[in-house]
Amino acid sequence: MKENLIWYKEILADHGIKNTRQKELILLELMQSSCHLTAEEIYQHLKTKRIGLATVYRCLKVFVNLEIVKEIPMVEVNYYELKIFSKKPLHIHFKCSNCNVMFDIDDIDINLDYIKLNEKVEKKREFEVKDANITLMGLIFCS
Partner DNA sequence: CTACCTGCAAAACGTTTGCAAGACG
Partner DNA sequence: CGTCTTGCAAACGTTTTGCAGGTAG
Contact by Cβ (8 Å): 43, 53? yes
Q: Which of residues 44-103 bind DNA (CB under 7 A)?
A: 50-55, 57-59, 61-62, 76-78
In the chain, the N- to C-terminal Cα span, in Å, equals 29
Contact by Cβ (8 Å): 6, 13? no
Q: Which of residues 32-51 bind DNA (CB under 7 A)?
A: 38-40, 50-51
DSSP string covering 64-107, please?
HHTTSEEEEE-SS-EEEEE-TT-S-SS-EEEEETTT--EEEE--
**In the complex, what is the shortest distance from the CB of residue 53 to its own copies, in angstroms, rounded to a whole number?**
18
Whichever of 43 and 114 has its CB closer to its own copies, that residue is 114
Q: Tell whether residue 18 is a contact of DNA (CB under 7 A).
A: yes
DSSP state of 16: T
Q: Which of residues 61-120 bind its own copies (CB under 8 A)?
A: 71, 73-75, 78, 92, 94, 97, 105, 107, 109-110, 113-114, 116-118, 120
Positions touching DNA (CB under 7 A) are 9, 16-23, 38-40, 50-55, 57-59, 61-62, 76-78
